[in-house]
Amino acid sequence: MTFQDFKLDKTGDGLLPVVIQDARTLKVLMLGYMNREAFEKTAAEGVVTFWSRGRQCLWTKGETSGNYLHVVEMFADCDSDTLLIKARPDGPTCHRGTVSCFDTPENEGFVRELADVVRRRREEMPDGSYTTKLFIKGTKAIAKKVGEETAEAVIEAVDGNRERFTYEACDLIYHFLVLLEQMGVSLGELEDELAARHR
């Protein structure tokens, strides 16, 4: 994709609106604008750079805070007049110190964030981590924990105890994420399979 592929005659200022989304959690982080130079710098360096309408200059997000946005994927919209960038943020995106410039629910996308933590635990295997201990024990032990947590969630559901069910369901999801990582299966792959079945 190149900057000339976009149809910017509607905007009047020749600027491309850019939506930034966390590639891991899928949370929408911010909206910015790019001119040709900002777009080409972003594409070349893999770090999001905008055109600041207020200062009338290029602005690499994170150049003062250190909270850079690393490009993972870029998508043009159906009208070729807006860009979506899935990025990996180094820290809070908003100048207020919040994850997003939009006040969406704080824990939105946390399951995906937790899946990423589990992945890093498997890569780094830090001492003292419960997740590390599970990976050391292997597939059989992890699968057994998933079975135990499933049974506990089912018991609370049958008893009609919503609070306890929620607690046990969280245990189940965590251990299931560990099993997914152990098996090398991502949440994205599950989504693909479920979508294929739905169709």
Using CA atoms of 184, 121, 114, 151 in order, give the dihedral in degrees to the nearest 10.
70
Q: Are 58 and 38 in contact (CB under 8 A)?
A: yes
Domain ranges (residues) in the chain: 3-89, 110-198
How much is the pTM?
0.75
Region of poorest pLDDT, from 8-22, 41-55, 114-128, 184-198: 8-22
pLDDT above 90: residue 119: yes
> Quick count: other Cβ atoms within 10 Å of Cβ 47?
17
Mean pLDDT of all residues in the chain? 94
Distance CA 121, CA 15 (A): 41
At 15-53, the pLDDT tens digits run: 999 999 999 889 999 999 999 999 999 999 999 999 999
Which pLDDT score, from 0 to 100, does residue 133 have? 98
Looking at the chain, list the stretches that DSSP marks H as alpha helix, in order from N- to C-terminal side.
Answer: 36-45, 110-124, 130-137, 139-159, 162-183, 187-198
Topology of the domain comprising 110-198: Helix Hairpins (1.10.287)
Q: Hey, which CATH number is domain 3-89, 3.10.20.810, 1.10.10.10, 3.40.109.10, 2.60.120.10? A: 3.10.20.810
